[in-house]
A and B are shown apart, each in its own frame.
Chain A
Amino acid sequence: MDQQISWVSVGSVEDIPRQGSRVVRTPAGEIALFRTLKDEVFALEDRCPHSGGPLSQGIVHGARVTCPLHNWVIDLASGEAVGPDEGCAGHCPVRVVNGVVQLGLAGFRSGGCAHE
């Protein structure tokens, strides 16, 4: 499966603030890249499953982000809302190679979920 993904470099990890996020624009929609306190990098569709809020603008804590519009909490790894809320933000394959963030855009579908 790994060979089928073609990876696109979008910038360096350092360009994303710790506990923060940057957006990558793609034809399939905006993707929010998150960098946690521990320097993990995650990529989700920049749309909250609740009502479309820009997740990239939320507060990042642990491996989660709190949506800026109505405080849903989204798990960064899976894109899923943390209970009791239900919903899932589209998820995009991401990896870091020598400090460079790469997205597997072919694996990204707007509205798609990590586990589908």
Chain B
Amino acid sequence: MTHADQTADEGAERPVRRQAQTFAILRSWLVLLLVCGMFSLHPVFRATFWTRDYLPDIVQQSGRNIVLAVGMSFVVMTGGIDLSVGSVLALAGVGMGMALSGRPASPPWLAFAAAFPIAFLGVGLVRRALNARLSAAPIVLYAGIFVVLEAVVGIVLAQALKGGLRVEGAICFALLIGVSCGLVNGLVVSIGRVPPFVTTLGMMSMARGLTLYATNSQSVSVNFPRLRTLGDGPPLLLIALAVVIGGSLLLNRFRAGRYVLAIGGNEQATRLTGVSVETYKTLAYLLSGLCAAIGAVLVTAKFGTANTGAGTGAELDAIAAVVIGGTSLSGGQGSILNALVGALTITVITSGLVLVGIEVNLQQVILGGIIVLTVFIDQIRKRQG
């Protein structure tokens, strides 16, 4: 279904390119197989890992990281990076928790933050409609529309939050918060031209701070059976799969996906072909924010509590999954399946190290070593090929 590793430069010769493509598809799976094979040398791993009891645990453990890595893939493919996903996850999580339980009450500013993407979308639609008739509409008009929409939607949301939301509503609220953070990241990076590292580092700090500020640093208990089923067994698996399939389709079957890759390949050239680089770059960050919020729903549902410290270090796990999956941090190539396999590989490594009983301090050393080694071998292969 996927033609993974779509490179933006179309100049390469056909046969070579096809060979490279086949390898790129197999590559991430090879790494996963190799890791499993190496661990299988250990008797305890053989006895415990390859069982019907344990294999599903691997998915349960990596579900959240798979979702985050899919979003991260889009950003990395544009040549950017998103360091804010862990903090955005926490903010979306407590947002959902407060919307559901009402303890502590959700602050009104959170409703206005969640209203931002809706207002922005509204302005975009109006602009598209007007552009057909009006060559240049005054910026004041758009600003006016934005302010009105933001105020109306924000007030409606704030009112709805006061009464407490149903589970579905609270999930939508969480997703809106995630999208809102992603949209801000995207706009600052693409229109503000602030480097992605700086922008998302700032958002990482801001979202974590807002998480603590909104909840007065208290974790939120969210013990709703209807929500909690989402974090277990099959539902979690289905949500993660849906995100992977959705991401793959978007990347391979829609123009937006091709543009994202093209921007990472050569931004200037893409701009010259008339593609709105700003739009599609923003889209990548928006998707990353959305995935962070989906991750928040999964984690909150699983543990029945929205921790203010949730997702600490999650951005690094997601980046590691993307990289170990074979997507280049310089952008322009990669596939969503890479992210899936990468996330699974990371989980196999971390849980494998526990299974075979490696000393805690050494576990980190080995994980870090494997990540660097994988990318190092990739680089050697590229230089030769």
A binds B: no
Residues of A within 8 A of B (CB): none
Residues of B within 8 A of A (CB): none
